[in-house]
Structure 1
Amino acid sequence: MDGKNKKLTPNQARPPKATPCKEDKRKKSRVQPTPVKERPKVQQQESEEDFPVSEESVCVSQELASWIKLNAQSLKIRKEDLSWAAGVVKDFRENLLKFLRSCTDQPFFQSAEFINTGSYFEKVKINSPDEFDMMLKLEVPSMIKMTQLDRGLFYRLDLVRPTRTPIQAFLLENKLTISSSKVLNEMYRLVRKFLKTYKVPDVRCRWEVNRKRPNSPAVTLSLCISENNSEELISVDVVPALMSKSCKSWPNPARNGPDVENWLGKKGWQEIRSLPCFFVPKRLKGQNLSEDAKESWRISFSLIEKKIITCHGNSKTCCESNGSKCCRKQCLMLLKSLIEGLKQRFPKELDDLCSYHGKTTFLHMLSTRFSDSCWACQHLPTCFLHLLEAFEGHARTGLLPHFFVPQCNLFSSTSFSRRKLTFLVNALEEQKREGLPLLKPPAPVSPLRPLSPPAEVSTRQSIKQPAADSLHPGFTNKLLLVFGASGLVVLICVTLLMKVTGSDHKG
């Protein structure tokens, strides 16, 4: 890709003494999304030897580098936790699918299939296997027309012609428009009906359906201990997703993206374009919405994202059994951990922030720093700091183009207020000054698997309070000084009080 037309990397300030990879040394222009009809020609990929990267390419202290490496290791999920959680979720999914296929009162869901997407299947889940995504594919037998409602993410879906197929139960009065609210409400009804007869393999647990969240396309369930009112052990999002024959052809706003030819090659680009996109029942944000907006569908590229992240290398053998390893996924997991830490510390100020902002930044960086040598495992601290700088740069400029629909800005004022963006930039700067204290998981996480007695079971509440060892050393020392001085004052007061009391008794 020609460096003069980089459309996805913000004009960001690098740390002192930064020496980017060779493809980053080209002349840069102020960031503007590349017009849809203009696509830069693919340049021949240079060999990996042309991209030397060293730990000195970013100003990172030995202490900070060790801290980043240590926390990258701590993000890995324990195998025993993963085995138990995956088994419970798999049993739920398989039995729910059997129920839907045998459900005679709603034939439209009888042909449903689950699509494996999300961080668990991308192998970038962090800390604990406590969240799972399930995309339930519902195939529309007829061709559909996609009417764009915003800059390319939200659509109204209409059948090309009237139908007598089971989807007719989810059409509006015009007998053509597919109602997102009807599909989602039916998904809720079916899941609740299923849970009346379903038993969790671990008899100590039960599934509960959570309250419906505004603008959420998912039916969210929580796995809880049956004997008490504990918080959830596992959260599962069941997302109904429409796909039709016409969905295999991406909508116009996404036709020219993503920009991966320099990175994955023409063949990789063609494989990605052959994958279908889906539509999930999510309405546009805002008040006084039109009828179309209330029944809108949001385009989803979850399956394509999984393909990109699992087959992420510039060389076709990256991270395979016989190939060299890279630190791409570790960098994404570290950024997700930092975002999660920021959201826990500032829940109100950063309520609009989500891991998808970090994931989008990561995908942009993969397409510009495309050589595998830029992501060598031994340079993990350097690579993560480059990614963190890119994320801060997007927040600072207020421009984070959607990776597949570049006209859509995920940091637009309608999606993320200027005030909150400024707060995010300040929080990221503070983290860098303090040595990234929120990078580490907030507290030692107990085994996820239910133990006996149930009181020992870890819950989400147990991981919300920061542990002392997750704080920056300098800040911890200040706390010790404060509490030490306070303790001395208390000791003096108690001594004086005892003397006064003793003199009163003597009197």
Structure 2
Amino acid sequence: MDREDRDVNGSLAAKEAKHRKDDSRGKPSPPRPTPARQRQKTPQKQAPEEGSKGVEESASPELTSWIKLNAKDLKIRLTDRRWAAEVVNDFQDNLLKFLRGNSDQPFFQSADFLNSGSYFEKVKIRSPDEFDMMLKLQAPSRLIMTELDGGLFYRINLARPSRKPIKAFTLENGYTLSSRQILSEMHRLVRKFLKTYQVPDEGFRWEVNRKQLHSPAVTLSLCRNEMCSAELISVDVVPALEVPSSQGWPLALRNGPDVDNWLGKKVRQEIKSSACFFVPKRLKGRNLSEEAKESWRISFSHVEKKLIRNHGNKKTCCESNATKCCRKQCFMLLKSLIEGLKQRFPKELDHLCSYHGKTAFLHTLSIRFDDSMWACLQLPACFLHLLGDLESHARTGLLPHFFVPNCNLFSPALFPRRELAFLVSALEEQRREGLPLLRHPAPVPPLRLRSPSGDTSPEISTDKPSSVTTVHSLDTTFKNKLVLLIAGAVVCVLLSVSLDGVNELGEKG
């Protein structure tokens, strides 16, 4: 686990700041990006100023106040983060020890963790209930990467047959690396580890979720030991091949992301020279060949983490004694709005995910690159501009992947046209009505937990409210009152029925 990502005893912020210079060594984890399925012409990048302008003009003093208030509420409390980090750190440390000491699968003995995703980018909202961790697996120094679909999916072959432990995960030809075999082995090893591992707090347990056909992760849920307990924390463990920087990125991506005006050519060169990672994700579609079923998707989570955490045009932006900006707050507000839309329209916006918001955010950062454009006092206007950019991308049906511009995340193959039209209407409605989903976010009932040390911990809330979660959050007193109230109502109904019967008999008499 990277030292910069640790938060034991509540020191995450301090340790991350201390080791921020090590970010360039980071590794990708699954932010669950939508896979691109269709090669298209490289779209010409332009600022969607028209949509943004209309949104900014509609900002009223009341809406401005609501945006500022909501931005404060989205930040995770330090005490909540501390409890979750202790539990996750203990799981991660012990899993790593298990893998390194596990003799029946030597390929995983040299593995190491890299954390990424919204929590470690410091843009996680409301509750620390989701963690992404990439398990880095060393690949041979020479691989043959064959593009399968638009620049995101690849078939990976060894340049020559190997006698190293990785040979156990090749197909019969001795060259093609099997993504399915590596992911299945990861599942087996995690299940074996959990047979002997105990959560520091005895009142909780880790459970392995069912395999998902197109998921590159082994997903675990932290639950109470009670029957039918709700999920408190979700962790994605993603095995990933780390291709050495000496080999470089695939040819289609070697120009790197467009950050010259924003972060400079030097940073762009550093990104292009960093290691490349592939996660075992299967292509979507029918009638796939056996080799296509063994596809790998290139991951940019480590680079996204670097860009979001070191986001300033001036290299000192948001450092301890430097000027602060509102970039992250804007992104967190956009994530909150997308989450609200998903909860309100689960079927109509099934394909919408936070990665669409992250992609629009990165494009906006590369266009509005100067730090002065993101002053903290301009938070409402900056957020409305970002929202207008996402709306413009949806209206034109064009959202190029930030690192693979040939892949349009709003293409018909990835985002159905009917659903895209619904998204445009939903965003227009939110703007027209003054962002009601931000004014009245879905309530998240708190869950009282105990810390691993046995002390009473501050409440930790979950981003995924459900009926089960709500029931578990009700205290005993409230339940008793509710039962008495219902019983009283039933008695009243029965008495009313009896009186009606007596009256009818009296009338007949």
Tell me the TM-score normalised to structure 1 length. Answer: 0.81
Task: Sort the Cα spacing of 1:348 and 1:179 in 2 relative to 1 into closer, same or farther, 3 A.
Answer: same
Pairing 1:265–2:268 present: no
Deviation of 1:14 after TM superposition, in Å, equals 2.6
Residues 140-219 of structure 1 aligned to structure 2 (within 5 Å): 140-219=139-218
SS at match of 2:135: strand
Task: Sort the Cα spacing of 1:17 and 1:106 in 2 relative to 1 into closer, same or farther, 3 A.
Answer: closer
Q: Distance in 2 between matches of 1:428 and 1:464?
A: 27
Q: Distance in 2 between matches of 1:247 and 1:176?
A: 20
More moved, 206-215 vs 141-150:
141-150
Pairing 1:398–2:397 present: yes
Residues 19-418 of structure 1 aligned to structure 2 (within 5 Å): 58-245=57-244, 249-418=248-417
Residues 411-426 of structure 1 aligned to structure 2 (within 5 Å): 411-426=410-425
SS at match of 2:418: helix
Q: Distance in 1 between matches of 2:157 and 2:78?
A: 46
Q: Distance in 1 between matches of 2:161 and 2:208?
A: 34
SS at match of 2:184: helix
Q: Distance in 1 between matches of 2:354 and 2:230?
A: 22
Deviation of 1:12 after TM superposition, in Å, equals 5.6
Deviation of 1:244 after TM superposition, in Å, equals 2.4
More moved, 345-354 vs 81-90:
345-354
Q: Hey, what does 1:14 align to over in structure 2? A: 51
Task: Sort the Cα spacing of 1:145 and 1:15 in 2 relative to 1 into closer, same or farther, 3 A.
Answer: closer
SS at match of 1:256: coil
Q: Distance in 1 between matches of 2:373 and 2:467?
A: 35
Instruction: Give a deviation string over 1:157-194, Cα, whole Å, max 9, x none.
Output: 00000000000010001000000000000000000000
Q: Hey, what does 2:465 align to over in structure 1? A: 462
Task: Sort the Cα spacing of 1:8 and 1:448 in 2 relative to 1 into closer, same or farther, 3 A.
Answer: farther
Q: Distance in 2 between matches of 1:83 and 1:165?
A: 40
1:15–1:59: 8 Å Cα contact kept in structure 2? no
Q: Distance in 2 between matches of 1:275 and 1:379?
A: 34
Tell me the TM-score normalised to structure 2 length. Answer: 0.80
Instruction: Give a deviation string over 1:89-136, Cα, whole Å, max 9, x none.
Output: 000000000000000000000000001211111100101000000100
SS at match of 1:135: strand
Identity %: 65
Q: Distance in 2 between matches of 1:157 and 1:362?
A: 31
Q: Distance in 2 between matches of 1:58 and 1:420?
A: 27
Deviation of 1:58 after TM superposition, in Å, equals 3.6
Q: Distance in 2 between matches of 1:459 and 1:17?
A: 35
Q: Which amino acid aligns with 1:398?
A: G
SS at match of 2:349: coil
Task: Sort the Cα spacing of 1:354 and 1:15 in 2 relative to 1 into closer, same or farther, 3 A.
Answer: closer
Q: Distance in 2 between matches of 1:417 and 1:141?
A: 39
Which structure would you say has the larger RCO, counting Cα contacts within 8 Å and 6 or more residues apart? Answer: 2
Q: Which amino acid aligns with 1:378?
A: L
Deviation of 1:500 after TM superposition, in Å, equals 9.5
Q: Distance in 2 between matches of 1:316 and 1:438?
A: 35
Deviation of 1:266 after TM superposition, in Å, equals 1.8
Q: Distance in 2 between matches of 1:291 and 1:265?
A: 43
Deviation of 1:143 after TM superposition, in Å, equals 1.0
Q: Which amino acid aligns with 1:105?
A: D
2:51–2:391: 8 Å Cα contact kept in structure 1? no
1:272–1:307: 8 Å Cα contact kept in structure 2? no
Task: Sort the Cα spacing of 1:316 and 1:15 in 2 relative to 1 into closer, same or farther, 3 A.
Answer: closer
1:326–1:377: 8 Å Cα contact kept in structure 2? yes
SS at match of 1:319: coil
1:10–1:399: 8 Å Cα contact kept in structure 2? no
Q: Distance in 2 between matches of 1:361 and 1:237?
A: 24
Deviation of 1:303 after TM superposition, in Å, equals 0.6
Q: Which residues of structure 2 form unaligned runs of 5+?
A: 1-41, 471-496
Deviation of 1:415 after TM superposition, in Å, equals 1.0
More moved, 215-224 vs 431-440:
431-440
Q: Which amino acid aligns with 1:13?
A: E
Task: Sort the Cα spacing of 1:505 and 1:373 in 2 relative to 1 into closer, same or farther, 3 A.
Answer: farther
Task: Sort the Cα spacing of 1:81 and 1:247 in 2 relative to 1 into closer, same or farther, 3 A.
Answer: farther
SS at match of 2:348: coil
Q: Which amino acid aligns with 1:225?
A: R
SS at match of 1:116: strand
1:233–1:460: 8 Å Cα contact kept in structure 2? no
Deviation of 1:228 after TM superposition, in Å, equals 2.6
1:117–1:306: 8 Å Cα contact kept in structure 2? yes
2:76–2:126: 8 Å Cα contact kept in structure 1? yes
SS at match of 1:291: coil
Deviation of 1:501 after TM superposition, in Å, equals 9.7
Q: Which amino acid aligns with 1:462?
A: P
Deviation of 1:444 after TM superposition, in Å, equals 4.1
Task: Sort the Cα spacing of 1:234 and 1:143 in 2 relative to 1 into closer, same or farther, 3 A.
Answer: same
Q: Which residues of structure 1 form unaligned runs of 5+?
A: 19-56, 468-496
2:141–2:247: 8 Å Cα contact kept in structure 1? no
SS at match of 1:222: strand
Q: Which amino acid aligns with 1:284?
A: L
Q: Which amino acid aligns with 1:331?
A: C
Instruction: Give a deviation string over 1:424-467, Cα, whole Å, max 9, x none.
Output: 1111111112221222541044146359999x9855663689x9
Q: Distance in 2 between matches of 1:382 and 1:463?
A: 33
Deviation of 1:61 after TM superposition, in Å, equals 0.3
Task: Sort the Cα spacing of 1:151 and 1:259 in 2 relative to 1 into closer, same or farther, 3 A.
Answer: same
Q: Which amino acid aligns with 2:62?
A: E
Aligned length: 436
Deviation of 1:391 after TM superposition, in Å, equals 0.6
Deviation of 1:8 after TM superposition, in Å, equals 3.0
Q: Distance in 2 between matches of 1:185 and 1:212?
A: 9
Q: Hey, what does 1:446 align to over in structure 2? A: 446
Q: Which amino acid aligns with 1:200?
A: V
Task: Sort the Cα spacing of 1:363 and 1:15 in 2 relative to 1 into closer, same or farther, 3 A.
Answer: closer
Q: Distance in 2 between matches of 1:178 and 1:315?
A: 42
1:148–1:154: 8 Å Cα contact kept in structure 2? yes
